Copies of this chain bind each other. A is one copy, B any other.
Amino acid sequence: MAGSTYGTLFRITTWGESHGEGVGVVVDGCPAGLDLCGEDIQKYLDRRKPGQNQYTTKRSESDNIRILSGVFEGKTTGTPISLLVMNEDQHSKDYSHLSQIYRPGHADYGYDAKYGIRDYRGGGRSSGRETIGRVAAGAIAAKLLEKMGIRVQAYTASVGPVVCDPANFDEAYQKSSRLCMPDPEAELQAQEYLDECMQNGDSAGGTVICRVSGVPAGIGEPVFDKLDALLGQAIFSIGAVKGVEIGDGFAAAQATGSQNNDQCGTHTNHAGGILGGMSSGKTIVIRAAFKPTPSISQKQHALGKDGLVHDLAIKGRHDPLIAPRATVVVECMTAIVILDLLMRNMSARLETMLSVYGGFRD
């Protein structure tokens, strides 16, 4: 298994390379009876679409989704939903010089070491376009969660050294923000910082915070499939993520027990909504660190296939930072994890099974 499938009951399989024919996903195990149309998915894809402003790659893709199966007369049927986006604006020739060189900060060397062959055009399978499948599937998961009163929302919490101030939060602003930041002041500073990075042929890192409200207590499986463990896998599986925190995260390691425990009657949420691997009923809070885009136009030293060091200034079209366009990816992976665990949780009690199957025989 080359690891392109995720989930136990709500199971997604993504495929596609940056400069291949297209990218897509098969969603297997989607409950039957959900109203679903292309627009439900398109609106999520549009949030990650390239070419939207000066802080995203200039690659121009309409990223129109096609639903090829699993929906009949406007409703999901329980059979696999195949979703397809064709690639349009490939400039494959821009990448031919990369066939013999391993870009710093990229997976190029790993691919060659592993497979002995590599589609070097635009990052191949490790391109950001790989996330289209995740977002398309996640849009379905998010719609299902909404039916159960569960809402997943992510935003850019910091760009380089610039951090959003919770006091300035403006959810409406975030929707129009070029950087997906809910704090207008922070966004302005972030843009200045980014402009400087771009002038230097450099790139920036950032963090994303994702919040999930409405999850009932007890979701997540003790031991290996803890809610936080599966979120950890899901978020780390997004390219460029180098750190994940739940609730207070690393700050908790500096606190004492009396400071960190969320006592009854208080409104603290140090635990970020997860205790012992299960949801506690409070808002789930996840924080992810995205490294700066490794493709920079500054000259770098890169290893060649010939074993020698080469000078490399990366051309092609790249985002100067990853976090803003990744917010919707974080939301979608989170939605998929929580939906899958809700589905797995249905058989946790005999009592629930009897309530569901008792009806068949009276």
Known: A117-B75, A126-B222, A226-B236. A68 touches B21 (CB 8 A): yes
CB distance from A199 to the nearest CB of B (A): 12
A247 at the A/B interface (Cβ < 8 Å)? yes
A223-B218 Cα distance, complex, nearest whole Å: 28
Interface centre among A3, A68, A217, A225 (most CB of B within 10 A): A3
A275 touching B69, Cβ below 8 Å: no
What's the number of copies of this chain in the assembled complex?
Answer: 4
B222 touching A294, Cβ below 8 Å: no
Interface centre among A69, A105, A115, A346 (most CB of B within 10 A): A115
Binds B, one of A22-30, A40-48, A50-58, A181-189: A22-30
A320-B296 Cα distance, complex, nearest whole Å: 47
A230 at the A/B interface (Cβ < 8 Å)? yes
Count A interface residues, CB 8 Å: 174
A8 at the A/B interface (Cβ < 8 Å)? yes
Known: A243-B246, A361-B216. A203 touches B33 (CB 8 A): no
CB distance from A176 to the nearest CB of B (A): 24
Cβ 8 A contact of A119, one of B34, B79, B84 = B79
A:95-130 near B, CB below 8 Å: 102, 104-119, 124-126, 130
A:191-209 near B, CB below 8 Å: 197, 200-207
A281-B108 Cα distance, complex, nearest whole Å: 13
A283 at the A/B interface (Cβ < 8 Å)? no
A343-B236 Cα distance, complex, nearest whole Å: 21
A9 at the A/B interface (Cβ < 8 Å)? yes
A17-B266 Cα distance, complex, nearest whole Å: 31
Q: Top 3 closest A-B pairs, CB basis?
A: A107-B276, A3-B225, A3-B221
Known: A296-B261, A357-B216. A29 touches B13 (CB 8 A): no
Instruction: Determine the chain B residues whose CB is within 8 A of the CB of A106 once the complex forms.
Output: 275-276
For A333, the closest partner residue in chain B by CB is B224
For A314, the closest partner residue in chain B by CB is B257
A:310-362 near B, CB below 8 Å: 310, 323, 342-358, 360-361
CB distance from A156 to the nearest CB of B (A): 11
A5 touching B11, Cβ below 8 Å: yes
B69 touching A17, Cβ below 8 Å: yes
Interface centre among A107, A295, A296 (most CB of B within 10 A): A107
B125 touching A302, Cβ below 8 Å: no
For A110, the closest partner residue in chain B by CB is B278
A263 touching B33, Cβ below 8 Å: no
Cβ 8 A contact of A309, one of B197, B205, B228, B264 = B264
